[in-house]
Amino acid sequence: MAFSEFECWSESGQLECVAVFRPAALDVTSAEEAAAVGFMRPVTRSEAEDAFGRLRDTLTRLGCQTIDLWELLPERERAVSDTTVNRVFVRDTAAVLGRQLVTGTAAFPVRLAEFDVAHRALSQLQPELSSDEVPTSARIEFGDVFVLDAERLLVNVGLRSDARALQPFLELAWRSGFREAAVVRIPESLGIIHLDLAFNVLGPRAVVARAFLRHTPIQVFAQGVAPHWEPFDGYFAQRGCRVIPFEPKGESGFMSNFIYVGPNLILASESASVGLRPLAKEAGIEVASVDIEALERGNGSVRCLTMPLRRRAV
């Protein structure tokens, strides 16, 4: 996949190609190590690799090409990359917004090296920037960003994506061809690190959202006009989209952390799929599932583990 083919104008186009990053070479062996790297529980390299293999195979079976960024890494970057256990959560490091690859900035210091390395791997797919081109980077972790449609982005500012990064991010959004950005603020007291752990797009006509989000009005920005506020559910209703609320239940801690593969199909982890299936059914969406419990111990699931490079509009 060459850079010229990067294109994502929604979360619900047919998924054609994603970047993934194979697990690092280290085990996470204790509660202290897990806390140091933002994991929920220890996990061995071999458990993580088995789960990663299942994820890749499932995506391939569903017709989506996967590019392992590890393959693109220059030899000299591999040693450090192999010690960064969060590199599997490639979603946070960058995103294709329209036809633009935008790189992010890690707010969690243990992820700084891994973000740089992922960007270097991605740059192998991109032509050199000419000196008059503006670099396209933002102080955002991309688990906080959704491409709602060809005109709109949704972004959370909170624990990982700093509100001070918003203005430059909006300018970048306009340059990338978007006309509106909806900004949500997940209360930091909840400890939810990214928006995709509380929200996702189920398809062109429905989203799922943790129930508390209805208490968080959305601030709507458009180029050249003063921002205004809209109720959370009302924002989506106004734009033809239904909000299906949910509360996490039991084992289904990653219910919103799936990826739309299409047509009318999403891919979720096995544990998330249990709670998700009845909600998805309401929107006419099927749920395929894959056992990635070992990777979920790192506090992320299918969406965090995939970075769409190309979606075909449907």
Binding site for ligand CIR (CB under 6 A): 38-39, 86, 89, 91-92, 108, 111, 143, 193-194, 196-197, 298-300, 304
Strands ordered across the beta sheet of 265-269: 259-260, 265-269, 286-290
* Minimum CB–partner distance for residue 298 and ligand CIR (Å): 5
Q: How does DSSP classify residue 130?
A: P
Distance of CA 267 to the CA centre of its chain: 13
* Minimum CB–partner distance for residue 276 and ligand CIR (Å): 16
Nearer to ligand CIR among residue 22 and residue 194 (C-beta): 194
- The number of CA neighbours under 13 Å toward the Cβ of 60 is 10
Element (H, E) at 129: none
Nearer to ligand CIR among residue 18 and residue 127 (C-beta): 18
* Minimum CB–partner distance for residue 229 and ligand CIR (Å): 26
* Minimum CB–partner distance for residue 101 and ligand CIR (Å): 18
Q: Could you tell me whether strands 225-230 and 206-210 are parallel, antiparallel, or unpaired per DSSP bridges?
A: unpaired
Cα→Cα distances 197→104, 129, 222, 291, Å: 18, 33, 26, 18
Q: How far apart are CA 271 and CA 274, in angstroms?
A: 6
* Minimum CB–partner distance for residue 231 and ligand CIR (Å): 25
Nearer to ligand CIR among residue 172 and residue 304 (C-beta): 304
- The helices-and-strands tally (H runs, E runs) of the chain is 8, 16
Nearer to ligand CIR among residue 304 and residue 312 (C-beta): 304
Q: How far apart are CA 54 and CA 99, in angstroms?
A: 29
* Minimum CB–partner distance for residue 222 and ligand CIR (Å): 26
Nearer to ligand CIR among residue 23 and residue 298 (C-beta): 298
Nearer to ligand CIR among residue 108 and residue 174 (C-beta): 108
Reduce the DSSP state of residue 209 to 3 states and report it. Answer: strand
Element (H, E) at 117: helix 112-123
Sign of CA dihedral 125, 128, 147, 219: positive
Please tell me the total number of residues recorded for the chain in this structure: 314
Number of CB atoms found within 10 A of residue 103's CB: 19
* Minimum CB–partner distance for residue 213 and ligand CIR (Å): 16
Residue nearest ligand CIR, Cβ-based: 143
Nearer to ligand CIR among residue 88 and residue 148 (C-beta): 88
* Minimum CB–partner distance for residue 60 and ligand CIR (Å): 22
Nearer to ligand CIR among residue 98 and residue 143 (C-beta): 143
Nearer to ligand CIR among residue 190 and residue 237 (C-beta): 190
Nearest to 233 by CA among 224, 242, 223, 225: 242
Two tokens, residue 179? 């006309």
* Minimum CB–partner distance for residue 265 and ligand CIR (Å): 21
